[in-house]
């Protein structure tokens, strides 16, 4: 089980780091996921991308892993409303011109799964 959890940790960290990269590649697409009343959209997109990089790196180190797991779960919860907004208003994925409406709603289901995943893989091995 320890090996599977470690693989899950590194897969999660790599995916989170890549997600941070996409915030710079598709910055305007991510900005569209924020309501019009939100100021400084691109800065928010860049800060969230950098945050994903930092959290991914902190997950890799055993000394910071548990705290990074909690911080990542909190971060995923905090950015979840952007996915709701995108689903409600039919805003496509940042890298796409159009996205199936069903896919936008299904994406919402993945956020709790990601939160669960990071909490499981960031546990100290003594806690399992």
Helix H segments across the chain? 2-25, 27-31, 41-60, 62-89, 101-121
pLDDT tens across 72-85, in order? 999 999 999 999 99
90-120 pLDDT per residue, tens: 898 888 888 788 888 888 889 999 999 999 9
In the block, residue with structure tokens 């779960």? 73
User: Do 123 and 72 meet the contact criterion of CB atoms below 8 Å apart?
Assistant: no
Query: What pLDDT is attached to residue 1?
Result: 59
4 burial via Cβ count (<10 Å: 0-12, 13-18, 19+) = exposed
- pTM to 2 decimals? 0.90
Cα-Cα-Cα-Cα dihedral sign, residues 77, 108, 58, 6? positive
- Look at residues 2, 19, 1, 5 and name the one whose alpha carbon lies nearest to residue 118: 5
Q: By the 8 A CB rule, do 62 and 11 touch?
A: no
């Amino acid at each position: 089980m320890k090996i599977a959890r470690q693989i899950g940790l590194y897969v999660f960290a790599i995916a989170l780091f890549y997600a941070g990269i996409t915030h710079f590649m598709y910055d305007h697409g991510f900005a569209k996921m924020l309501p019009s009343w939100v100021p400084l959209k691109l800065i928010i997109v860049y800060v969230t991308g950098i945050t994903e990089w930092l959290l991914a790196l902190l997950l890799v180190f055993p000394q910071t892993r548990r705290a990074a797991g909690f911080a990542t779960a909190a971060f995923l919860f905090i950015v979840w409303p952007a996915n709701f907004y995108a689903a409600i208003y039919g805003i496509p994925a940042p890298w796409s011109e159009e996205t199936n409406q069903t896919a936008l709603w299904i994406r919402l289901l993945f956020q709790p799964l990601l939160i669960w995943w990071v909490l499981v893989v960031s546990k100290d091995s003594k806690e399992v």
